[in-house]
Amino acid sequence: MHPLAEWEQANPGTVHDPEWFRRDVLSRLASVKLSEIVEVTGLLEGVASDIRRGKWTPHVSTWPALVGVLGAAGALVGNVGIPFLSCRSWRCRSL
């Protein structure tokens, strides 16, 4: 089974807000090294670059890792929460 299909099966009914991602996460990814994004998400460099440039929004399974790398880079300012309900994937980790 494809990893994203596995994630979807393990996280049924996950609620997420793409607008929140674009507003609160994407706006800060420019300050993060591409290699860090690749490392925490497992995405190919070209895909990670497209995401960082705002070409498209990544799958919700990568959001906790991206928020985590923002915090590690000191780019996350203020109290920003992740607006979705459940995450039990191998890609997700507690922040």
Q: Where are the alpha helices (DSSP H) in the chain?
A: 3-10, 18-20, 27-29, 34-41, 45-52, 63-72
Q: What is the pLDDT of residue 49?
A: 96
- pTM listed for this prediction: 0.67
What's the pLDDT tens digit per position in 51-66? 999 998 998 888 888 9
* CA–centroid distance for 19 within its chain: 13
C-alpha span between 19 and 76 (Å, rounded): 17
What's the pLDDT tens digit per position in 3-27? 777 877 887 777 678 888 888 889 8
Q: What is the rounded (10 degree) CA torsion for 5, 14, 19, 73?
A: -80
Q: What is the rounded (10 degree) CA torsion for 65, 67, 71, 72?
A: 20
